Amino acid sequence: VAIIGPSGSGKTTLLRSINLLEQPESGTIRVGDVTIDAGRSINQQKTAIRRLRQHVGFVFQNFNLFPHRTVMENIIEGPVIVKGEDKNESIARARELLTKVGLTGKENSYPRRLSGGQQQRVAIARALCMQPRVMLFDEPTSALDPEMVNEVLDTMMEL
C-alpha cells in the first residue's frame, strides 16, 4: 500500500498516528488484532499500545539513529530494551539483517561514518529486528542523494 499526496497533505502525520507517535483526536487505529480507540485515554490502552508498537516497524525520513551508538547498538536497542529479548539472540538476528541489507562488517561503525544510503539501511534493519508484522516507511529516499535512492529502494523491494 502506498500513501501519496502533495507536501503538507498529512502523509507523515498519518504514519506517525498509526504508530501513536502522534495522538489522533478521534477514530480508531487497527493493525492486525490490535485496536486503539482515540476516544479512550492512553493510560487505559497501555497494553494495546505496547502490542501495536511491537508489531509495527517504522523507518523515519531522517533515519533517527543514535549518533553515539554503533550500528549494532542501534539495531538491538529495541529488541533488548523494549521487548526484553536475549541480547545474544538479538545480535545474531541483527547480523543476519545487516547481511540482508548489504552492510556486513559495519556492526561497529558509527552513523556519522556511513553514507545516507547506509544509514537508511541501518534504520531498515533496526525496524526489522523488532520482527514487525507491518512496516511503515516515511519518505525513505527523500534525504538521499539520487545515486543512493536505488540502493535503498532495492533493499526495500527485497523485503
Structural domains of the chain, ranges and CATH numbers in brackets: 11-151 (3.40.50.300)
Q: How far is CA 152 from CA 30, 90, 115, in A?
A: 28, 23, 11
**Assign residue 138 a region: left if phi > 0, alpha if psi is -120 to 50, beta otherwise?**
beta
Task: Please indicate, yes or no, whether the overall pTM of this predicted structure exceeds 0.85.
Answer: no
Asked whether the predicted pLDDT for residue 143 surpasses 80, the reply is no
Categorize the per-residue pLDDT at 129 as very low, low, confident or very high, splitting at 50, 70 and 90.
very high
Q: What is the mean pLDDT of residues 12-39?
A: 89
pLDDT of residue 55: 84
Residues 6+ apart with CB under 8 A from 8: none
Stretch among 25-39, 91-105, 131-145 having the lowest mean pLDDT: 131-145
Asked if 31 and 55 count as a contact pair (C-beta separation under 8 A), the reply is: yes
Q: What is the mean pLDDT of residues 30-41?
A: 89
CB atoms within 10 A of CB 44: 10
Q: What are 56's strand-pairing partners?
A: 134
Q: Residues in the chain, how many?
A: 159
